[in-house]
Amino acid sequence: MRLTLGNRDILPPVMLAPLAGITDLPFRTLVSGFGAGLVVSEMIASGEFLTARPGTREKAELGAAVENTSVQIAGREPGPMAEAARQVADMGARVIDINMGCPAKKVTGGWSGSALMQVPDHALRLIEAVVGAVDLPVTLKTRLGWDDAALNAPELAKRAEGAGVQMVVIHGRTRCQFYKGRADWAAIRAVKEAVTIPVVANGDITDAATAREALRLSGADGVMIGRGAQGAPWVLAGVAAELAGSAPPEIPRGGELINMVSGHYEAMLRFYGPELGNRVARKHLGWYMDRAGTPAALRKTVMTERDTARVLRLLPEALACESEAA
């Protein structure tokens, strides 16, 4: 499998999807360490980014060691979108991604995210503004359409290609589905047939079997994995290895797992500061403990502990079930 974006090859063509509150610098760095063709930042609202709202610029923080980062921006006006793209490019982004797929009401209510699929002429003006503002590859992430009566992803993708977009990622649901039901990978094929640029399939892809089926049904050039990587940052590398027929990465177990989780936790404390980092890290610790089968009482203790040093002391015991299984 080979996917070219601009003048660079995305190898492997297995990418980390943008996830609000999850795909921050510490997590992207961890996923990249196992192996991923591209990792995408949390969605950044262009207006909040330009006004330096607290916490917004941190979402775009790249990190010197993570070169395969795409920064995703969202908005409803061409001017702020273009300026946000320029500033993100100046920060060192390698790729700019435009969000036209987020289904959240607080986003679509402001005519951003997937709401833009209802106004394709205006959506195109945003795309043209971003493409014209930077010399980087610009990509587009969207859904099949607003609802089943308006499956206009192929038309929007074709117009986006004409405006200079170099790759499109399609989540195989409509906005009105949110995350319910199953992603329709076969429906992505119409987008693939409408454009000559790479198309990436997204939605319900969690392992090699689902990735292989998504590629078969969609004809896509690559896959994007989001929720499947929660608590398992090695998943993307494992999927890529199985698709390529190469040796899979070694999944951390026992002491290696404890060291990895502890390192991830400490990286979040450094990135956010101890108090905020401890709170933000809880979701990740919860996923790790879910996979490890941590007893409920101990899990609750870890998830509610405010003393970061004690959390670190508790992690070996909390992950002991996984360690013993190894």
Measured distance CA(279)–CA(290) in Å, rounded? 17
Q: What DSSP line would sit under 277-320, residue for residue?
A: HHHHHHHHHHHHHHHHT--HHHHHHHHH---HHHHHHHHHHHTH
- Positions in the chain whose pLDDT score sits under 50: 64, 323-326
Task: Please tell me the predicted confidence (pLDDT) of residue 66.
Answer: 66
Task: Please tell me the predicted confidence (pLDDT) of residue 142.
Answer: 96
Q: Which amino acid is residue 158, in one-letter code?
A: K
Q: Give the residue among 85, 41, 46 at the shortest CA–CA distance from 60.
A: 41
- Burial status of residue 245 (CB atoms within 10 A of its CB: 0-12, 13-18, 19 or more): exposed
User: Given 14, 44, 84, 102, which residue is catalytic?
Assistant: 102
Task: Please tell me the predicted confidence (pLDDT) of residue 57.
Answer: 62
Helix (H, G, I), strand (E, B) or coil at 116: helix
Q: What Å distances lie between residue 253 and 227, 257, 325, CA to CA?
A: 21, 5, 9
Task: Please tell me the predicted confidence (pLDDT) of residue 64.
Answer: 47
Task: Please tell me the predicted confidence (pLDDT) of residue 110.
Answer: 84
176 is known as an active-site residue: no
Task: List, for residues 106-122, the tens digit of each pLDDT value.
Answer: 888 888 899 999 999 99
